[in-house]
Amino acid sequence: MTRTFNPESYGKLLAKYKPKTITSKEENEQAIKLAQSLEYRPNRTPEEDILLELLVTLIEKFAEINYPIPQGKLNSKGHFSTCLYHILHECWLITINCQPSTVN
């Protein structure tokens, strides 16, 4: 599906917020705050929606690299153990109305 948006308005948003690859915990926290502020903004523009998706992608990439999810292992009760970060991350994605990743 192709979205319609104003390239000039989107360019202004990019110039204002300067999204880039996240390389530190501090940058990640800033990106999360910005993503949350966009998520809760009433009547987001199409350009803001695209910026929000970009931020979520950058945040997810940082999390994949810095907080890898260990492969599930059966514990003594036969349940799969889960990384706490993974649970919190998925809850946050649901909170900002994004589709959580599939756990293998």
HEC per residue, the chain:
CCCCCCHHHHHHHHHHHCCCCCCCHHHHHHHHHHHHHHHCCCCCCHHHHHHHHHHHHHHHHHHHHHCCCCCCCECCCCCECCCHHHHHHHHHHHHCCCCCCCCC
Q: Is residue 103 part of a domain?
A: no
Please check whether residue 78 lies inside any domain of the structure: yes
Residue 2 inside a domain? The answer is no
CA triple 7-23-38, angle to 5 deg: 40
What is the pLDDT, as a whole number, of residue 67? Answer: 82
Q: What is the pLDDT of residues 18-71, one digit of tens each?
A: 999 999 999 999 999 999 999 999 999 999 999 999 999 999 999 989 987 666
Token digits for 34?
Answer: 């910005």
For residue 54, being part of any structural domain is answered with yes
For residue range 64-101, list pLDDT tens digits in order. Answer: 899 876 665 555 554 444 445 556 566 666 666 554 44
pLDDT at 103 over 50: no
Residue 93: its pLDDT value, please? 64
Position 101 in a domain: no
Total structural domains within the chain: 1
Q: Which domain holds residue 30?
A: 7-95
pTM: 0.68
